[in-house]
A and B are shown apart, each in its own frame.
Chain A
Amino acid sequence: MNSADRCPLCAVPIDAAAVEAAATRRDVRCTLCGWTLAGPWRPGRADRAAAEAALSAARLEFDLRAAARAGDDWLPYAPHLRGRPAEAQWQEARRDVAALREAARPPLGAVLDALGPHRALVVVAVEDAGLRLFVTGGVPAAGPLGYRELAAVPWSALLPGLPRDATHRRFQLAGGPSGIDPAWADATIGGAVGDLVRRYCTSVDTAVMSGLPGMPFPDAVVRAFTGLLPDVRIAAGAPDAAALLDRIAAERPIARPYGLAALRARPGDGAAEVVRLPLFPAGARAGDEAQVRVRRAPGGAGQETALAVVTWDDPPEPVRIVTARMPRGAAGLVRIALDGPGRLRFLEPDTVDDAAPAWPDLLRRVPRRLPSAAFATELVCVLELGGRAETARRRRDLVADLLELLGDELGGTARVAVVGHLDHPIEPKHKNRDVVSGGPLQAPDEAARTLADLPDAPSGPFGARAAPLEDSLDRAAALLHGPRDGRSRILLTVAGRPPHPGSGHGDVIRPVEPCPRRLNWRHSVARLEAAGVRLVAVTDEPAPKDVPGQDARRRDDPEWDVLGAAHRTGLDSVDAAGLAKVLGVLPDDEAPPLPFPLVP
């Protein structure tokens, strides 16, 4: 095909003979660009020069429009321009192209919203390199709302004859002179699109988005899809469809709720079970934040635990699993930001490690029953403040050490109340004075402060036989009541003297005055026992049988058998660590760590 067979302006092929024939009767124009190809009028020599000039101007104008469609700068396309534009010409071309821009299309996100979260969508993206087909939506709820590339078709396969060079191709896609017959182009593109539609788009919603709107061949592709798929949705294009899909996926609401895996003892049979603590409801989007409280599994501040976010499906699908150390103090709080479906950012704890065991491995590590240390502990420490000053101090020190240890090891799992009693004043006028002080059930650290604030006993002689332990026990029974709900409840009595009897004088040989408030410590113990409280006592004197070489019949106050029913030990032979073990609030070292945190 020589140059005489093409439109001198837009270079589409023309039938020169037919043009010649028709031109005898009328002016013949290019069907594509409207250029007058020939006419009855024959220009003279002088006119020929003017005609040449007009053609050059028209060519430059034509090419500049293609360049304006192709980009914001003509320079990349300079090699393909027929002439060199003045700035005014370039601006005018841009204005012309802009005026013809097609109507704004809805963004792809809106198209997906309209579909709902569960329907899949094939997205056809018309791009510089060719077509790419993706499928998105309707994917498993757990992972990032993904998309998958189904196919990529280069322009060479859609429309043979376009240049290899990307810039040049883009120039021609934008309408630069290519010499390709539009009708042939439509037919060729239509054939290729038909193949794609048959392969990928039957019985599934399809959206077409063009990153090259207003360009003739890309528009032809869009037209081909609309022609073949009456329901096809047209979305606003983007230069890089994958990046757009990334962004859209992140902004999508989550289809299924997410929860954090945690362990609890199943009510009823007490078997260990994994439950989900709700984090994000279905419909939550990027930018949402959620927090839950968990209890750090026993095993100390150094222990790592898996924070596994899973879906509400059955069985749950893991979304993201990390390992973390639950810090002391803020213990128990897990705060997570949603960056998109399947994309989670841990805010608290602030350092997490993605090197975590897989979900099935974690499930395999769940024991049949939770160790006793895993149960939330309610501990009341009843403390005799009076007696010998030095001994009173040692009692306080023991409880202080215990609270520090519990704070370190258990954090919020343990709630501790400290209750201390002074002596009943001997002066009958003051005998009804309140002798008990202390605090509510609180975190070990706070309980330590309560302990520090407890008064010291005045110096001087004190009751030899009893102390107002019954007043403290009465307070303890008020603190530990109601359903136990799997919590372990402990009363720790750290004292030297037994309680005053509620009435009467106990032993007739070494009688003791009754409680002025007539409190019966046995009633308090009965209430404590009914509330499922274990009774542990640390007494100034060890149980006689515990002292080798000592007469086992040494008089021992019988009250300690009751108050130390679960365990009784002497003040001299116990430290905080030993005591914690006795209380059953620390895990034993042999047991493997629990995979998940605990339900608070």
Chain B
Amino acid sequence: MTEPTPPDEARSEEPAAGGAPAAPPPPAPERPRRIGLWGAPTCGKTTFLAALRIAAEEGGHDVRLVGCNRASTEFLADTTRQLKIERRFVPATRELPPNLAWQLHGTQVRKVRPTEGRLRFKRRRPVPYTVMLDMMDAPGGMFSSRPEDRATSEPSSGLRFSSSAGDGDGGSGDGGGGGDAEERLVRHLAGCDGLLFLFDPTREREMNDAYAFFQRTVLQISELAGTSGVDHKLPHHLAVCITKFDHPEVYERAVRLGYVTPPASIFGMPSVDETRALEFFQDLYRGTHAHDPVNSLLRGIRSHFGESRTRYFVTSAIGFYRDPLENRFQPEDYLNIAEQSDGGDGLAGEDRFRIRGDVAPINVLEPVMWLAGNVGRP
């Protein structure tokens, strides 16, 4: 695959204050798992990444997400603060930032054969692991099949990472820059082990462009990526994430169609079980008057990605609102966004909504863990 981030550099910038356990550090993986992320503008890519650390640390998963370099660490710190403390969404991504290099530390229960002792049967025991993530958060416009969208997504100003571009991983600091950036993005995605495709039902109703964003990028990746060893499809694992599950438009539909698992999870947060996510995806628009993009999307997904290497998730980066007093999900008051106005023509992108309460991501870490755990397997 292409351009692996030099592991040495990544490790050298890992902050020491990670609270390393007394146990000997887990063996570093041979190479980072590259996970690519794509989807239409405003479908929630950056927020997804920003919620990843909160999901890791507060979602009951017992994993840690840390940056491998200054820019990656700052991204985690900045976005976590914005979501949690300021209760604001992250700004729209304006140009292609440097790659995000993160380490995911966790433990996994595995059957392992003890290395010493008389009885060397396999036992179930927690095994620490570390996954190196190499991600790229592109402006959604770059995935567009319409050239004018790609142009507007790459303004020359507003570099979110510009202040830290110099600290970024070498060679990928060229933020925008038209064809260069696009080529970098496509090469990154093609070289990924796993791909996250984000589908935003609330955008789809209005824009109806998810398929356009999907298929152009898939074709570009195909150009570079070759095929899987087992079938003629792309070698990538694909996590399809139906985003903004917390939004009433998505949530109410899921409830009505009976996809919402009785809330057993933390704070009673509802979710759609992974096993039924595809079904829900197929049912999203069934029987409504809206144009149904799911069929064409599914056809595209199935023709390019192996069925066994594809999974579906119903996600929410911010989760549902919890009343500070009750501190539980309440069906009559779960909306976690509040639309804001400045009295003019409406507020721009990230200022349009404020986050009402705590951020409690749903199914954000899961697809990443799945991809991380499966990379390299057929």
Chain B residues near A465 (CB-CB < 8 A):
339
| Residue from B339, B344, B347 within 8 A of A510 (CB atoms) | B339
B332 — nearest CB in chain A belongs to which residue? A503
Closest to A431 in B: B324
Query: CB-CB contacts of B112-129 with A at 8 A, as 1s and 0s?
Result: 000000000000000000
CB neighbours (8 Å) of A428 from chain B are 324, 356-357
A554 at the interface (CB under 8 A from B): no
Distance in angstroms between the alpha carbons of A387 and B341 in the assembled complex: 8
- In chain A, positions 504-523 with a C-beta closer than 8 Å to chain B are 504-505, 508-514
CB contacts (< 8 Å) of B343 on chain A: these are: 387-391, 462
From the candidates B335, B346, B347, name the one contacting A511 in the complex (CB within 8 A): B335
A-chain residues with CB within 8 Å of residue B357 when the two chains form the complex: 428
A508 touches B252 (CB 8 A): yes
Residue from A389, A391, A504 having most chain B Cβ neighbours under 10 A: A504
Kindly provide the distance from the CB of A496 to the nearest chain B CB, expressed in whole angstroms.
9
Contact assessment for B341 and A461 in the assembled complex, using a CB-CB cutoff below 8 Å:
yes
Q: Are B248 and A511 in contact (CB under 8 A)?
A: yes
A551 CA / B62 CA spacing, docked (Å): 55
8 Å CB contacts to A: which residues of B307-345?
321, 324, 332-335, 337-344
A464 touches B (CB below 8 Å) = yes
Contact between A464 and B249, CB atoms less than 8 A apart: no
Q: Is A426's beta carbon under 8 Å from chain B?
A: yes
Given contacts A508-B252, A509-B249, contact A462 B340 (CB under 8 A): yes
Question: Is chain B's binding surface mostly helix, strand, loop or mixed?
Answer: loop
Contacts of B334 in A (CB 8 A): 505
**CB proximity of B83 to chain A, nearest CB, Å:** 14
Contacts of A389 in B (CB 8 A): 343
**How far is it, in angstroms, between the C-alpha of A390 and the C-alpha of B247 when the chains are bound?**
32
Shortest distance from the beta carbon of A470 to any chain B beta carbon, whole Å: 14
Residues in A371-400 with C-beta less than 8 Å from chain B: 387-391
Of residues 487 to 538 in A, which have CB atoms within 8 Å of B's CB atoms? 503-505, 508-514
Q: Which of B334, B346, B351 counts the most chain A CB atoms within 10 A? A: B334
B205 at the interface (CB under 8 A from A): yes
Cβ A513 vs Cβ B338 within 8 A: yes
Chain B contacts for A387, CB-based, 8 A: 341, 343
A512 contacts B341, CB within 8 Å? no
Does the CB pair A463–B333 fall under 8 Å?
A: no
A553 at the interface (CB under 8 A from B): no
Evaluate contact between A426 and B335: CB separation under 8 angstroms.
Answer: no
Residues of chain A within 8 A (CB-CB) of B351 are: 461
| B184 CB within 8 Å of chain A | no
Contact B332 A514 (CB under 8 A): yes
Q: Which of B202, B249, B341 has a CB less than 8 Å from the CB of A463?
A: B341
Chain A 461-482 interface 0/1 with B at a Cβ cutoff of 8 Å (1 = within): 1111100000000000000000
Q: How far apart are A15's CB and chain B's nearest CB, in angstroms? A: 125
Residues of A within 8 A of B354 (CB): 426
Whole-angstrom distance between the Cβ of A293 and the nearest chain B Cβ: 46
Q: B341 to A513, Cβ gap below 8 A?
A: no
Contact B338 A503 (CB under 8 A): no
Residues of A contacting B248 with CB < 8 Å? 505, 508, 511
A557 to chain B, nearest CB (A): 13
Given contacts A428-B356, A508-B252, A509-B205, contact A463 B339 (CB under 8 A): yes
Measured between alpha carbons, how far is A241 from B266 in the docked complex, in Å? 107
Measured CA separation A513–B252 after assembly (Å) = 15
Which of A391, A463, A508 contacts B338, CB < 8 Å?
A463
CB distance from B223 to the nearest CB of A (A): 38
C-beta contact mask, B247-258 vs A, less than 8 Å → 1, else 0?
Answer: 111001000000
How distant is the Cα of A426 from the Cα of B335 in the complex, in angstroms? 13
Residues in B with CB closer than 8 Å to A463 are 338-341
B356 with A508: CB separation less than 8 A:
no
A514:B249 contact, CB within 8 angstroms: no
Give the chain B neighbours of A514 by CB distance below 8 A: 332-333, 335
A45 at the interface (CB under 8 A from B): no
B321–chain A nearest beta-carbon distance, Å: 8
Determine whether the beta carbon of A512 is less than 8 Å from that of B324: no
Q: Are the C-beta atoms of A513 and B340 separated by less than 8 Å?
A: no
| Binary flags per residue of A351-375, CB closer than 8 Å to B gives 1, else 0 | 0000000000000000000000000
Distance to closest chain B CB from A462 (angstroms) = 6
Task: Look across to chain A and name the residue whose beta carbon is closest to the beta carbon of B251.
Answer: A508
Q: Is the CB of B324 within 8 A of A429?
A: yes
Q: Closest CB-CB distance, B325 to chain A, in whole Å?
A: 9
Set of chain B residues within 8 Å of A391, measured between Cβ atoms: 343
Question: Would A505 and B338 count as touching, CB distance under 8 A?
Answer: no
Q: When chains A and B are docked, how far (Å) is the Cα of A206 from the Cα of B321?
A: 99
Q: In this complex, what residue of A is CB-closest to B333? A: A514
Complex-state Cα separation, A248 to B349, whole angstroms = 92
B341 touches A503 (CB 8 A): no
Residue of B nearest to A426 (CB): B354
| Closest CB in chain A relative to B203 CB, distance in Å | 12
B205 to chain A: closest residue by CB: A509
The listed residue with most A CB atoms (<10 A of its CB), out of B202, B248, B347, B352, is B248
**Cβ contacts A to B, 24 pairs, < 8 Å:** A387-B343, A388-B344, A426-B356, A461-B340, A461-B342, A462-B341, A462-B343, A463-B338, A463-B339, A464-B340, A464-B347, A504-B332, A505-B248, A505-B334, A508-B249, A508-B252, A509-B249, A511-B248, A511-B337, A512-B335, A513-B333, A513-B338, A513-B356, A514-B335
User: A431-B324, A461-B342 given. 5 additional CB < 8 A pairs?
Assistant: A387-B343, A462-B342, A504-B332, A504-B333, A514-B335
Closest 9 CB pairs of A and B: A388-B343, A464-B341, A503-B332, A464-B339, A508-B248, A461-B340, A511-B248, A508-B249, A505-B335
